[in-house]
Structure 1
Amino acid sequence: MLGLYLNARNFVTNRLSREEKGATAVEYGIMVALIAVVIITAVTLLGGGIQDMFTEAQCKINGGTFTAVAAGAKAGTATCAP
């Protein structure tokens, strides 16, 4: 009877520990997917503004005249005239 109990306990313990490892892998996968979504969203929203910022810095270094983006215009369309 004791042997049956120990076999059942070992089976349940092994089964639960294997499922825990699987759940951990799924959790890491979800976390990586969410991080990727945040990065893609940030790059999409800030990409044009960052491009304008670098255009302005390059223009000032070269001694040109920077023309900012008009209100409502697409970001990333600023210009630099020599």
Structure 2
Amino acid sequence: MLTKLARFLRSSKGATAIEYALIASLIAVVAISGMKLIGGKILNQLNNIANNLG
């Protein structure tokens, strides 16, 4: 199992897969951070709208 993993990591396909995984994880971290920062503000706005309608 470890030899297969080592062979995969040395191949160009393995390197490309790891690069894509790192890019995807970076995008996910940025997206989650952004959602946490503005999530409360959006929730407050939606609650204000709901209170004004109801």
TM-score, scaled to structure 2: 0.73
- After superposition, what is the alpha-carbon deviation per residue over 1:23-61, rounded to whole angstroms, capped at 9, x for unaligned? 110111101111110111011100110111101110111
Task: Name the counterpart of 1:25.
Answer: 17
**Unmatched runs of 5 consecutive residues or more in structure 2:** 1-9
**Unmatched runs of 5 consecutive residues or more in structure 1:** 1-17, 63-82
- After superposition, what is the alpha-carbon deviation per residue over 1:9-34, rounded to whole angstroms, capped at 9, x for unaligned? xxxxxxxxx72101110111101111
The answer as to 2:49 corresponding to 1:57 is: yes
- From 37, 47, 50, the equivalent of 2:39 is 47
Structure with the larger helix share: 2
Identical aligned residues as a percent: 40
- For the aligned residue pairs, the C-alpha RMSD in angstroms reads 1.3
By relative contact order (CA 8 Å, sep 6+), the higher-ranking structure is 1
TM-score, scaled to structure 1: 0.50
User: Which of structure 1's runs of 4+ aligned residues deviate more than 6 A?
Assistant: none
Structure with the larger strand share: 1
Distance, in Å, in 1 between the alignment partners of 2:42 and 2:30 is 17
Distance, in Å, in 2 between the alignment partners of 1:28 and 1:41 is 20
